[in-house]
């Protein structure tokens, strides 16, 4: 994370340049569609950190990279029947060579990774990004983990898969988190003001610079993000497969058999009144240190839990924190006539997504 931090900061500074161009210094402010804007920011971050390319979608919204990435979320390679088969029998589907991603998207990212690897190895280019770490793993052959497990060097196909998963884990989820956070902050000026004061105070203690240490010190920012992820659970359910027969505690007649896939409704937990009183209210105080310590960790599951939690969690949190810190310190967000309340969600979206854009009024601070 520390290696990639300066790269994310560089993209966030360009993000602010674009914002200042869109929001002139005038009292009335400017109405901006934030969902697309946040997606362009995270696309540039992931493109740079994962693939090692300058996407520049902040200034050029329509690019091949973003178009293909969007298709990976919105298009399925097959119809509903084969998709259901792939979902229900992933091992068999893999043996049969059934893919869920459209062929054109698959080829685009494979070629992108192959070209990037070839160029870096030929020119001996080194960068502090995710791609560089994977290239090093590809070149090392194999090594042994502390657990004794032997990990072999990655093939180009495996490397491309890792980069693509890293992209999926960090693009849509992070941009949506930022969007929903700004949507709620626009409606709760007291929370937004409190957050802005914290950001200002922390930065004064760190030479007025956003650094790895200053971002970690913004505790209330974390609370705002965590409450956003509770209220807007981007991945509504989780899946886990039982490694062994499991007897449900207190119910010896109920056994989850080995290899059974269990679906965990994370969004239902997050809206459970017994766990979160007044669950529809946006309240970052739910994630104060005292409140978090009083809850079981599995009552908050936006990234899953345990050894199989989200691979992109730390990176996603990092770019979300940086993006929101930059935005709130420089701009004030309020609702406008075009702000839709309540939001309408797309039932066909893989992650929690809205129908249409999300508009707010933005003013310089």
* CATH numbers and ranges of domains, the chain: 5-201+312-364 (1.10.630.10)
Give the pLDDT means over successive 10-residue stretches in the chain (365 positions). 87 96 85 95 88 85 82 73 76 80 85 86 80 76 58 74 77 91 98 98 93 95 97 91 93 94 93 96 97 93 79 83 97 96 87 92 95
Q: Rounded CA gap, 252 and 255, in Å?
A: 7
Q: What is the pLDDT of residue 26?
A: 73
Tally of CA atoms within 13 A in the half-sphere of 187 that contains its CB: 16
Tell me whether strands 261-264 and 331-334 are parallel, antiparallel or unpaired.
Answer: unpaired
Query: How many other C-beta atoms can be found within 10 angstroms of the C-beta atom of residue 18?
Result: 14
Q: What is the DSSP string of 251-274?
A: -TT-EE-TT-EEEE-HHHHHT-TT
Tell which phi-psi region holds residue 148, choosing left (phi > 0), alpha (psi between -120 and 50) or beta.
left
User: Quick one: which H or E segment has residue 67?
Assistant: helix 64-74
Q: Rounded CA gap, 184 and 59, in Å?
A: 26
pTM above 0.95, yes or no: no
Q: How far from the centroid of its chain's Cα atoms is residue 353's Cα?
A: 13
- The residues near 122 (Cβ < 8 Å, ≥ 6 apart) are none
- Is the distance from CB of 198 to CB of 218 less than 8 angstroms? yes
Q: Which tokens sit at 230?
A: 């509770």
Q: What is the pLDDT of residue 239?
A: 86
Helix 156-170 and helix 34-50: axis angle, to 10°? 150
197: closest CA among 332, 346, 99?
Answer: 332
41: closest CA among 54, 27, 58?
Answer: 58
- The residues near 248 (Cβ < 8 Å, ≥ 6 apart) are 254, 255, 256
Q: Which tokens sit at 166?
A: 């890293």
- Is the distance from CB of 291 to CB of 146 less than 8 angstroms? no
- The residues near 135 (Cβ < 8 Å, ≥ 6 apart) are 117, 120, 121, 159
**CA torsion through residues 323, 269, 360, 68, sign:** positive
In 1-100, beta strands by DSSP E: 30-33
**CA torsion through residues 252, 241, 345, 38, sign:** positive
- The residues near 56 (Cβ < 8 Å, ≥ 6 apart) are 44, 63
User: Quick one: which H or E segment has residue 54?
Assistant: none
């Amino acid at each position: 994370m520390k290696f990639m931090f300066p790269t994310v900061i560089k993209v966030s500074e360009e993000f602010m340049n674009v914002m200042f161009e869109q929001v002139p210094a005038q009292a009335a402010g400017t109405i901006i569609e934030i969902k697309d804007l946040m997606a362009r920011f995270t696309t540039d971050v992931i493109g740079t950190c994962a693939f090692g390319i300058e996407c520049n979608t902040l200034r050029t919204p329509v690019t091949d990279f973003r178009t293909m990435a969007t298709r990976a979320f919105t298009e399925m390679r097959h119809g509903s029947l084969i998709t259901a088969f792939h979902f229900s029998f992933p091992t068999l589907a893999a043996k049969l060579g059934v893919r869920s991603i459209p062929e054109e998207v698959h080829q685009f990212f494979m070629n992108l990774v192959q070209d990037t690897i070839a160029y870096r190895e030929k020119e001996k280019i080194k960068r502090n990004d995710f791609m560089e770490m994977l290239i090093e793993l590809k070149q090392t052959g194999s090594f042994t983990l502390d657990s004794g497990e032997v990990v072999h060097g990655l093939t180009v196909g495996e490397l491309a898969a890792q980069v693509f998963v890293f992209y999926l884990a960090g693009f849509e989820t992070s941009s949506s988190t930022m969007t929903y956070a700004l949507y709620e902050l626009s409606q709760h000026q007291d929370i937004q003001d409190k957050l802005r004061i914290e950001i200002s105070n922390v930065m004064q203690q760190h030479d007025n610079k956003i650094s790895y240490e200053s971002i970690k010190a913004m505790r209330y920012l974390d609370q705002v993000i965590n409450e956003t992820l509770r209220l807007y659970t981007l991945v509504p359910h989780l899946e886990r497969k039982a490694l062994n027969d499991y007897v449900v505690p207190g119910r010896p007649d109920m056994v989850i058999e080995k290899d059974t896939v269990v679906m965990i409704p994370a969004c239902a937990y997050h809206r459970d009144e017994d766990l979160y009183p007044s669950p529809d209210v946006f309240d970052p105080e739910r994630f104060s240190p005292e409140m978090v310590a009083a809850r079981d960790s599995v009552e908050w599951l936006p990234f899953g839990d345990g050894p199989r939690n989200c691979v992109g969690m730390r990176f996603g949190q990092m770019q979300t924190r940086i993006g929101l810190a930059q935005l709130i310190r420089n701009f004030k967000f309020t609702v406008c006539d075009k702000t839709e309340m309540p939001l309408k969600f797309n039932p066909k979206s893989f992650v929690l997504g809205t129908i249409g854009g999300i508009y707010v009024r933005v003013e310089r601070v």
